[in-house]
Amino acid sequence: MTALALAAAGCPSLIAGASKAQPVPPTTGTWIGQAEVSGRPVPLTLTIQSGDGRQTGTAWLGAPLNCRLTQRYAGTRENASGPATTVFGIDESNGGFCDRLIGGRLEATPGDNDHLGATFADPRDRSVLQANLARQTSP
């Protein structure tokens, strides 16, 4: 029986190579806003991608910090009230302020569909940055 015949017979799961679509995690996308560092606002853009069954992220901190962080998925923590928090390990930095976060973590907690809470902690588990971000929409 051909793949077309299997599909027509209502058996798409029997088609060789057929795969089920994975749901897109609610944290996936580009998020923009600002964090506060030492009492000063700092622009923050966070992009989280999903692919090959894993999530990765990149955070850009604007002036006066001007640095970038990369993150990898580390797990999910359920919350008693509200959506689960996605935890990322911070792997790399391009220098400056961001170096102090290498080995730390990013916790991303979805609000509604268009908002995300982000907390960056250093390797000693001290919260360094917190931000409420909005989903960037296409222009």
Q: Is residue 20 part of a domain?
A: no
Q: Domain holding 105: CATH number?
A: 2.40.128.20
Binned at pLDDT 50, 70 and 90, residue 139 comes out as low
Residues of the domain holding 120: 25-135
**What are the pLDDT digits (tens) for 55-98?**
999 999 999 999 999 999 999 999 998 899 999 999 999 999 99
* The dihedral sign for the CA sequence 19, 25, 26, 31: negative
Q: Is residue 15 part of a domain?
A: no
pTM: 0.79
Domain count for the chain? 1
**What are the pLDDT digits (tens) for 34-54?**
998 888 999 999 999 988 778
For the cut 90, the answer to whether the pLDDT of residue 100 exceeds it is yes
